Structure formats: structure tokens, C-alpha cells
Amino acid sequence: MNHVGDVKLDIYRKALLNKTEAAEFLGVHRQTIRTWQKLGYGPKFSRTPGGREYTTLDSCREFLAQLSDQSMQRQTPRPETIYAPATVWPTNGNRGDSE
């Protein structure tokens, strides 16, 4: 069984990182990695023929360097906000109430 400290050391020895390991390295939650992927943000992942996704330690480091460069320019690295469509009410004046 790995302890938390052992897992962190193992990350630095691996050529490929899964999403959980990449999230740990970047200091974010695993779900944040998934959200970033959907928005085209974050380190680049590759999919194996078996469907698993991995990134490299170098890709994570490059992403951190980009964040550092952006913060030096005083820009906040934020992906675009995605809004859900608003509910559309019927145009006849009633809200679907039956009469």
C-alpha cells in the first residue's frame, strides 16, 4: 500500500501520469482536470488503445510554466464561461397553465 508521501515520489519517477496523478502534481482536484479537458485547457492527455488517458510530467510542467507566465503578466488564466440556455416561455402570454 502506498502512503501519500510515497505516491508523490512515485509521480516523479513515472514517464506517464494518469488524471489523478496529474491532478496531485498540479495541486487540483481530479474533476478540475476533467473540466479543463472539456474546455481545451490544461496539460495535454493522450488516450491508449484501451481507453485510458495519460499525460507526461513534462506536459504538466509546461502547463505550470504557462500559468506562471500569465500570472507575471497579471492575467487570470480562466477558460470561457459556459452558460446553460435560458428557459423559454410560450409567447401566448400564459406559462403553460391549463385553463
For the chain, the domain total comes to 1
Give the structural domain span for 5: 1-99
Q: Mind listing the pLDDT tens digit for each residue in 21-76?
A: 999 999 999 999 999 999 988 999 999 889 999 999 899 999 998 887 766 565 55
DSSP 69: H
Cβ atoms of residues 70 and 77 within 8 Å: yes
Q: What is the spatial distance between Cα 41 and Cα 58, in angstroms, rounded to a whole number?
A: 16
CATH of the domain at 64: 1.10.1660.10
* Whole-prediction pTM: 0.58
Location of C-alpha cell 508523490: 8
pLDDT (0 to 100) of residue 3: 43
> Nearest 5 degrees, angle CA 12-CA 18-CA 20?
90
